[in-house]
């Protein structure tokens, strides 16, 4: 064997370079996808200023994805769907954050509240970016079908995939900070996913149209999905629009 070839094989891989001091949007985007461990270590420093940038990425991404969903019913849903989806995601993150800190501590992670907040904002930003990747395909079906069941399945399926990778990023950061127990994080992930799914029903209508912005009828999300799965998007006769006005 060539000695030079032997040395190249025996040489250990180089250590991962730390992230730069200035975390711009491009650096954060690449770190979310490629370097979660380095990003988690950088978020442990007090001067990262990434929480606000992550929040901005998450909000803008969810707003754009919500606009694509609003293209299904159009009219008031062009602004209502983005507003509802964004508000629901932000509210879900806020109400689930205290339990995230508790379960992360139970998992053995040595992580501060500010670092964990930045990590959760980064996970939501990653989910939003993944939803943007699905947005063109979702828009095609939003413009070509009137099936509420299919569009709902497509939207929920996109969210489940996005939140899976977002929680995977969050798990990698918690493990990198000393977490060893999988159970607590698995429980929190299940609770967070259920909360976001219930938001799709609590803030309805999101895909269809209604004469009210928010319904007051309480339903479990599985019950609501079952009732609307076989329905289609049709003009509501109680809403006077150019589409359902009588022809004279």
List, for residues 208-241, the tens digit of each pLDDT value.
887 777 777 888 888 888 888 888 876 544 444 4
Binned at pLDDT 50, 70 and 90, residue 94 comes out as very high
Cα→Cα distances 87→55, 63, 196, 216, Å: 12, 10, 11, 17
Q: Spell out the alpha helix ranges (H) of 107-220.
A: 113-144, 148-176, 183-202
What pLDDT is stored for residue 17 in this prediction? 62
> How confident is the model over 122-132, as a mean pLDDT?
92
3-class DSSP assignment, residue 56: helix
Per the structure block, which two tokens stand in for 113? Answer: 């509240």
Q: Percent of the chain having pLDDT more than 90?
A: 39
Q: How far apart are CA 124 and CA 132, in angstroms?
A: 12
Contacts of 236 (CB under 8 A, 6+ apart): 209, 210, 211, 244
Q: What is the pLDDT, as a whole number, of residue 215?
A: 78
Alpha carbon 31 to its chain centroid, in Å, reads 17
> Which of 97 and 228 is assigned the larger pLDDT?
97
Contact 242, 215 (CB under 8 A): no
Q: At CA 237, angle to CA 232 and CA 243, rounded to 5? A: 80
Of the pLDDT bands very low, low, confident and very high (cuts 50, 70, 90), residue 2 is low
Q: What pTM did the predictor assign?
A: 0.81
pLDDT for the residue 4: 52
The residue among 49 and 180 whose pLDDT is bigger is 180
More reliable by pLDDT, 245 or 7: 7
Is the pLDDT at 248 greater than 70, yes or no? no
Per the prediction, the chain carries an average pLDDT of 82
Residues listed for the chain: 248
Give me the long-range contacts of 194-199 (CB less than 8 A, separation at least 24): 195/92, 195/95, 195/96, 196/88, 196/89, 196/92, 196/159, 196/163, 197/156, 197/221, 199/88, 199/89, 199/91, 199/92
How many Cβ atoms from other residues are within 10 Å of residue 238's Cβ? 9
Q: Looking at residue 34, what is its pLDDT? A: 77
More confident residue, 48 or 115: 115
């Amino acid at each position: 064997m060539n000695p030079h070839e032997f040395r190249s094989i025996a040489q250990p891989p180089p250590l991962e370079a730390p992230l730069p001091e200035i975390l711009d949007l491009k650096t954060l985007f690449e770190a979310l996808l490629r370097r979660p461990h380095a990003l988690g270590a950088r978020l442990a420093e007090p001067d990262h200023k990434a929480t606000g940038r992550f929040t901005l990425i998450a909000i803008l991404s969810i707003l754009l994805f919500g606009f694509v969903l609003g293209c299904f019913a159009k009219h008031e849903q062009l602004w209502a769907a983005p507003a509802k989806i964004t508000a629901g995601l932000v509210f879900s993150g806020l109400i689930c954050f205290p339990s995230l800190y508790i379960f992360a501590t139970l998992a053995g992670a040595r992580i501060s509240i500010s670092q964990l907040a930045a990590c959760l904002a980064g996970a939501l930003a990653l989910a939003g970016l993944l939803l943007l990747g699905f947005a063109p395909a979702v828009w095609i079906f939003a413009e070509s079908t009137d099936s509420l069941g299919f569009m709902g399945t497509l939207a929920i399926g996109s969210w489940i995939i996005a939140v899976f990778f977002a929680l995977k990023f969050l798990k990698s950061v918690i493990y990198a900070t000393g977490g060893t127990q999988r159970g607590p994080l698995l429980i929190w992930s299940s609770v967070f996913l259920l909360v976001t799914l219930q938001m799709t029903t609590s803030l309805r209508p999101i895909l269809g149209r209604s004469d009210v912005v928010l319904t007051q009828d309480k339903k479990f999300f599985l019950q609501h999905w079952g009732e609307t799965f076989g329905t289609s998007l049709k003009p509501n006769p109680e809403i006077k629009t150019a589409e359902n006005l009588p022809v004279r």
